[in-house]
Structure 1
């Protein structure tokens, strides 16, 4: 699991630029499915058929894209102006290393003013993204970098103690890793329902990858796998979860009640660690979009606790990813396609 996550997190896939990562992940998924394809939006779709006539389909979704940036202007002296893609907090950007995904990947740093040169009061103010610059150190930057070139954080995955991993892009490569492990576990199972997989594009900006993919598959049921907020000493005490809590099961008006109850029952029956997350409105996940596709999809949400979301140092505990994979596996292997609606 750790090695899979490391490989996933190093694949660049800024929203709208997922094609290279999609090709790799599609090949990883192929041994576990009867058919795998990449759609026009760059999402990966896979289907494992159970062989029963009229069988229901359950769709497992995790998003493939990541937050990042686009080059908006190339200046003299090798400096770049840029715009954010997805929810980026400008307070944590200054001083970060980045990779500019030109024809040949290039190194850059988001430059920052030394405190010695700041005017009184400037140190307490966040610098807007449109006033920041990336320093590439390239005299000939204009010949190598074009407007619209995507940019990602350069940090590499780092293992911490106690089975903890820190990296960019764990939102939502952790969800992809969980689903891949689920499909591996299901490989030799005799199933009573079809299992579809969607590694969706563009979740961080529109959610359209999940919407189009769900429309193509038309499942009766869906489970969106994403991350949720991990607990830290400086953060709130409500609505956050300790790393190591296991699978976080969403509960709320947009999750189908009986499907959610079935997942809770499965966790209890198999001694899988879990906790409940109350999600009273828009969940901020693909489930919000997937539930209203076509005739509607009965949705559930499983989340992985993650500290420092939408930063280059997102942090998770590997056992939580494995708990989500085990919960989905145990649920699907006994699922006949029917819950009380």
Structure 2
């Protein structure tokens, strides 16, 4: 798999939370060569299955979410301006001046309007502008004939390489997780397994995690591993809540996560020489692991994360070696897993 090209294609296919159908088609195509079957369910989740062919085999579910943060048009004004609301957790501090794509029947370019400082009243420069006060300028006088209320909007930034080993762009949260799973499944292509492997590319994580809950309820796995992103270190970030960029896969540990499965993942990383970092998570992990753990009769849950800089911005950045460490850990764990975890 050409990781950069696959990641670029996936990230540049829009899938705002609640509007994922276009992205689902690309994700399903990505899984088609490494799963026995792939389908898009009624809710919009992509479900792939790789069966081992053994009687009473247990099932391991791998999940990454497809949706991205974005916006929805709430009103079309005269002069080509749009009012909008957020879909997912968007920080208004970084929006003014951003470039966006309005996903009308024919996509439109737009910019989030920013009042010049010359026109501000005294003290206004120090006040944060709330999203409901912002406007998208399409530059189109006839915008009312082109854009409808409810149209999704995404950041316009493209994916590019900062350096040979680093990639930056929109929605690496969690398209990087999808690529890590797809790469692991591709590596497993010729391997004889002792467990069935289900892949869930879930929708609506950024708003509700309903996709993961519904998908896990349907599949009813014995074990589930969520693959998402975590916070990578930067000079301005708190050191106790961030992890090394290029330091390897982050293995979550906490009450949302099964101790035996977590230990098995760490044991595999040590045995295979895979770089890893332990992330203690004292409660809600903020990922699909929370919803999947209690689906149906409950599941033994694990969590692997890719260190990522600038989460929920158009310039999210990852180190490709960290993505590789996640896919390597999944590959080696599943290749050797007999369906039992032990203390």
Name the counterpart of 1:275. 277
Name the SS of the counterpart of 2:32 in structure 1.
helix
Name the counterpart of 1:170. 172
Runs of 4+ in 1 over 3 A off after TM superposition: none
Name the counterpart of 2:109. 107
Find the aligned partners of 1:179 and 1:189 in 2 and give their Cα distance.
Answer: 16
CA contact (8 A) 2:251 2:304 kept: yes
1:71-129 CA-partner distances (Å, limit 9, x unpaired): 00000000000000000000000000000000011000000001111111111111010
Name the counterpart of 1:265. 267
Structure 2 residue corresponding to 1:13, chosen from 7, 12, 15: 15
Find the aligned partners of 1:308 and 1:27 in 2 and give their Cα distance.
Answer: 29
Name the counterpart of 2:125. 123
Name the counterpart of 2:137. 135
Find the aligned partners of 1:51 and 1:162 in 2 and give their Cα distance.
Answer: 41
Find the aligned partners of 2:159 and 2:293 in 1 and give their Cα distance.
Answer: 33
- Offset at residue 238 of structure 1 (A): 0.5
1:168-226 CA-partner distances (Å, limit 9, x unpaired): 00000000000000010011100000000000000000000000001111100000000
CA contact (8 A) 2:72 2:87 kept: yes
- Unpaired segments of 5 or more residues in structure 1? none
Name the SS of the counterpart of 1:285 in structure 2.
coil
Find the aligned partners of 2:29 and 2:130 in 1 and give their Cα distance.
Answer: 40
Name the SS of the counterpart of 2:265 in structure 1.
helix
Find the aligned partners of 2:318 and 2:38 in 1 and give their Cα distance.
Answer: 29
Name the counterpart of 1:310. 312
Find the aligned partners of 1:245 and 1:190 in 2 and give their Cα distance.
Answer: 30
Farther-moved stretch of structure 1 (232-241 vs 54-63): 232-241
Find the aligned partners of 2:338 and 2:266 in 1 and give their Cα distance.
Answer: 17
- Unpaired segments of 5 or more residues in structure 2? none
- Offset at residue 28 of structure 1 (A): 1.5
CA contact (8 A) 2:309 2:318 kept: yes
- Offset at residue 30 of structure 1 (A): 1.2
- Offset at residue 162 of structure 1 (A): 4.4
Name the counterpart of 1:250. 252
Find the aligned partners of 2:4 and 2:319 in 1 and give their Cα distance.
Answer: 10
Name the SS of the counterpart of 2:84 in structure 1.
strand
Find the aligned partners of 1:106 and 1:162 in 2 and give their Cα distance.
Answer: 32
Equivalences for residues 60-71 of structure 1 within 5 A: 60-71=62-73
Find the aligned partners of 1:31 and 1:315 in 2 and give their Cα distance.
Answer: 28
Name the counterpart of 2:89. 87
Equivalences for residues 17-36 of structure 1 within 5 A: 17-36=19-38
- Offset at residue 276 of structure 1 (A): 0.3
Find the aligned partners of 2:159 and 2:32 in 1 and give their Cα distance.
Answer: 25
Name the SS of the counterpart of 1:179 in structure 2.
helix
CA contact (8 A) 2:35 2:50 kept: yes
Structure 2 residue corresponding to 1:235, chosen from 234, 237, 241: 237
Equivalences for residues 192-211 of structure 1 within 5 A: 192-211=194-213
RMSD: 0.8
Aligned pairs, how many? 341
Find the aligned partners of 2:54 and 2:139 in 1 and give their Cα distance.
Answer: 61
Name the counterpart of 2:185. 183
Name the counterpart of 1:41. 43
CA contact (8 A) 2:35 2:48 kept: yes
Name the SS of the counterpart of 1:280 in structure 2.
coil
Find the aligned partners of 2:5 and 2:274 in 1 and give their Cα distance.
Answer: 23
- Offset at residue 319 of structure 1 (A): 0.7
1:214 aligns with 2:198: no
Q: TM-score by structure 2 length?
A: 0.98
Find the aligned partners of 1:321 and 1:13 in 2 and give their Cα distance.
Answer: 21
Name the counterpart of 1:319. 321
Name the counterpart of 2:289. 287
